[in-house]
Structure 1
């Protein structure tokens, strides 16, 4: 992972830099994927995660002279007083709280270079749109014709929709040779998706808060099933008994438990901007306390 803190005036230059990097890395031996994303929405700090099939391919990429030239350009974009871009082992950012569109493109064999050149223009354009939260590009694994996958993230659904419906994107699609590639797309929901209602702007709670709340309501359901349901199902095949238990758990969690918990913790899931810090801290303490109460009460059943 390459980490950099950008200067406020380098937004346009960084958009072009992302496009150039994506085109260059996509043509390298052993390339698996590249992911470009900010630490959070509107953050000046960005991470560029570069994945390769093995250590040798990664080392070749790190030593590639054109990459070094791009890194020199990136240094010129860093904020005044910020350290030079750093290189470190990459964490997993797939739980990032944002809305994403997955675009799969089948490229005719022999026309990969043409496709990557066109993709560079798309990357540069989408990076300039409000709410842009990074891109994940994956090279083909199997298939004929080869299929490239791109995951485009925006902070809010309406911001992603604005890019997808924009005249700039439509012009880029019209410019592409229809004999070169064929594409399809689908929307990904963050976290537990439809279990959590969106606010007026279409935004859902961050994925980590969704997960924390689901754990809060799922844990007692599983414990109660172990205490009271498991003895009843003991005579059934284990696969059948497990399926019944899981089906009951999912049904109870999806309705009504998550809805009730969401209403009770709405002040923490989407706190007002004026009191965000206080609500975040208080909400975290409340969640820890509720976990402790659940464990204390339910431990008496066994």
Structure 2
């Protein structure tokens, strides 16, 4: 392994996202080659996981692979290794052209709903225009926040000697909402404005587990809300879900004489599914002013958000109290 790997902190997570167009008729060969590549990466220090995403609609046979390591040094050791170079030389015959590669330094991914989609956008920023580019990115983020289904974005600075481009990763709750943003007139206007700061950019889509119930990051430092806010938010979604299921599905299962332990399992499946794909995204969106760490910076916001959640608790209790009786 490269000595650089031992010098970097294992806490500094690093990810490489590679996009490559596979030649028609070579998909099976490519998949076997990719499996061998994944196995080879697992033998390197710091390896945390790999993911392979097949082409989506309109992606022109473009496959995306994601490799995660516990530090930039570990990732660099893999990228520069003789073993990987041998595999790349072997796999060239499967590809229409050279692959694109983006290295993201910082942040550890968590699980998310299957429909969530991520876009990885790499920008070649003009020398000396970095400050303007950052201001432009803030303007883009404000526009994205108004777009349906937007779940958050992160900006990754260049990594000297590894990744020269600025990379922005943003997430939407569905492929349809992502496409709506990518094709919007608002984004088109912003891109025209942004050409004053960057030479070129590439967009790659990843159906990736880059985020979860409480991941809103607008920067590498912006991860999840405090545990007490997470707990209050989950209870806000969980209580009405369990009550509704008990009054509907639970009642039906009792009439059918379904054993209690089976009914409990069915209820858990339904409640977790409802929270993951419906209610938690809604709660996150409504309470973003309070949950997103970068927005909730004052005591007033903390108190206002907590008070709103408590009022919702009381409202649900009154509603279900009247319903049950």
Band the TM-score falls in, shorter-chain normalisation: 0.3 to 0.5
Higher helix residue share: 1
